[in-house]
Amino acid sequence: MSESGNIVKNVVEYIVTQIVENEDEVKVEVASSTDDKVAIEVRTSSNDMGRVIGKRGRVARAIRTVAQAAADEEGLDSSVEFID
């Protein structure tokens, strides 16, 4: 796993832990990482998933936008999946 993937992971993990009530149940993992792309998976408690996704997916979209901005700094493309 590249250090770049870790930077995007850390950004997403920070944002998600600030949103949820049960920070201990947040798991953010790098699902796959190549030289030009990183895929992040986010898992939370079922009670907090609604907070992370938000109304009409607005919070999830914002998290994906910030993750892509962090990835752009490293010359990567990113994807963020929210898993129940």
Tell me the CA distances in angstroms from 66 to 1, 24, 47, 62, one per residue in order.
Answer: 20, 22, 23, 6
User: Residue with structure tokens 């798991």?
Assistant: 27
Question: Which CATH number is 47's domain given?
Answer: 3.30.300.20
Helices 3-19 and 46-53, packing angle to 10 deg: 100
Number of compact structural domains in the chain: 1
- Domain around 49: 3-83
Distance of CA 64 to the CA centre of its chain: 7
**Residuewise pLDDT in 10s, the chain (84 residues):** 446 689 999 999 999 999 999 999 999 999 998 889 999 999 999 999 999 999 999 999 999 999 999 999 989 999 999 998
Its pTM stands at 0.91
